[in-house]
Amino acid sequence: MIGVAVLGSTGTIGDSTLDVLARHPADFRVVALGAGRDVGKLADQCRRFRPDYAALADPDRALQLERELRAAGLTTRVLAGEQGIEALACLPEAPYVMAGIVGAAGLRSTLAAARAGQRLMIANKESLVMAGPLLIAAARAAGATLLPIDSEHNGLFQCLPNGEADPAHGVDRLWLTASGGPFLRWSAEQIAAATVEQAVAHPNWQMGRKISVDSATLMNKGLEVIEAQRLFDVGPERIGVLVHPQSIVHALVEYGDGSFLAHLGAPDMRTPIAYALGWPDRIETEVARLDLAALGSLDFCAVDAGRFPAINLARQALEAGPAGTTVLNCANESAVSAFIAGHCGFLDISLLVGDVLSRFLSGNLAGTACETLEEIGQLDRYARFLAEEWLKRSPGGGAEGRALG
């Protein structure tokens, strides 16, 4: 029986993880559940899975959770704050950790799991983008096993020999597919007027709002190019992106002999989660099986960088070194929050990120090595400051933003 800690348990990755775990009660035990603010949902999960530990990042709500669990007669130990979540990542009785907290908020706990030498199932792509070299080095030093949950990277991992993109084994290029998001066939004018509700309505995947907006700008794919570079240690020129609207082929590995190995599956996160839990074996899920005959055809096309500039911004950040990708991520998080809050228009997201990135590159923090959390924290605050400045300055920025839905 293997103990599992699920961080971000009330989000979509958490739901999918608990669904897979519930199907394998003889093999896995839910030892710890961690979330941000959703007391009601976490209390429900505790009543169902009876973990030894639960933590909420919001300390006041952690007190509320404690009261609810005691009233329900549960003995689950409740921890509070970011330290509480970090503690769950390091439990010896839970050597499998699902890092499912979205954004920079998941960085400390993801790094803590790496340092503790856990099986780190990494769904938090932002921590690889913000702190990739630090995280990879920590995992290596502690002997942690890093297994990607992001569907494209999980697919690459499955198609690579021993999960490694070593040219000595004939690996040439890695290909990530992108659905193209809800605006794939929209004109530039239509995209400029896109509302929040339109941006979060992803055609294939049920996801949280932040990643859904990232999928609409295609910044999600930009972050994933960086994530692939970090995970598989390949140059950006060896990582390609293909638009594939059906989201059935998640990734392809191109070999020097002309072979392409592709990973196919229904767009359902339970498949990569089950793979990471079972690896190197496979465990069953209730995911609907592909019916290729019913699908009939699969389509592919190149990315239109004119309407979707985000992938090139990510490549530019990657060229700039570790500090570049930290700043890109933080600027993007600021821009997406501002868009969701109605403080800027959809196109402003990429404009803001591009502006923050170029200001940063011409400033004196551009060479930051990003070897410590303090350095990364400093860049994070700097990028968010530049983003705030941009929002105040931009013609349509601020409360009366352009293209409000």
Least Å from the CB of residue 347 to Mg ion: 23
The residue among 151 and 158 lying less far from Mg ion, judged by its C-beta, is 151
The residue among 228 and 323 lying less far from Mg ion, judged by its C-beta, is 228
Least Å from the CB of residue 250 to Mg ion: 8
The residue among 151 and 316 lying less far from Mg ion, judged by its C-beta, is 151
Report the C-alpha gap between 99 and 91 in whole angstroms: 14
Report the C-alpha gap between 339 and 357 in whole angstroms: 18
Residue range at the interface with Mg ion (CB under 5 A); choices 75-83, 149-157, 368-376, 386-394? 149-157
The residue among 13 and 320 lying less far from Mg ion, judged by its C-beta, is 13
Least Å from the CB of residue 304 to Mg ion: 19
SS3 state of residue 223: helix
Report the C-alpha gap between 95 and 275 in whole angstroms: 16
Instruction: Count residues binding Mg ion (CB under 5 A).
Output: 3
Residue 380 to residues 122, 179, 399, Cα–Cα distance (Å): 21, 29, 23
- 191 Cβ contact partners less than 8 Å away, ≥ 6 residues apart: 183, 307, 346, 347
Report the C-alpha gap between 306 and 201 in whole angstroms: 22
| Interaction between residue 214 and Mg ion (CB under 5 A) | no
Least Å from the CB of residue 144 to Mg ion: 22
Least Å from the CB of residue 26 to Mg ion: 31
Least Å from the CB of residue 39 to Mg ion: 29
Estimate the crossing angle of helix 219-232 against helix 346-361, to 10 degrees.
40
The residue among 218 and 277 lying less far from Mg ion, judged by its C-beta, is 218
| Interaction between residue 150 and Mg ion (CB under 5 A) | yes
Rg (C-alpha) for the chain, rounded Å, is 21
Which residue type sits at 55?
A
- The interface mask with Mg ion, positions 107-146, x = CB under 5 A, is ----------------------------------------
Least Å from the CB of residue 127 to Mg ion: 15
Residue 358 to residues 97, 202, 251, 320, Cα–Cα distance (Å): 36, 30, 31, 10
- Residue 296, phi-psi category: left (phi > 0), alpha (psi -120 to 50), beta (remainder): left
Q: Which residue is nearest to Mg ion (CB)?
A: 150
Residue range at the interface with Mg ion (CB under 5 A); choices 67-75, 105-113, 152-160, 241-249? 152-160
Helix (H) or strand (E) holding 7: strand 2-7
| Interaction between residue 268 and Mg ion (CB under 5 A) | no
Least Å from the CB of residue 169 to Mg ion: 24
Pairing state between β 96-99 and 77-80: unpaired
- The interface mask with Mg ion, positions 75-114, x = CB under 5 A, is ----------------------------------------
The residue among 152 and 348 lying less far from Mg ion, judged by its C-beta, is 152
The residue among 151 and 394 lying less far from Mg ion, judged by its C-beta, is 151
Helix (H) or strand (E) holding 11: none
Q: Is the peptide bond before 280 cis (omega within 30 degrees of 0)?
A: yes
Residues in touch with Mg ion (CB under 5 A):
150-152
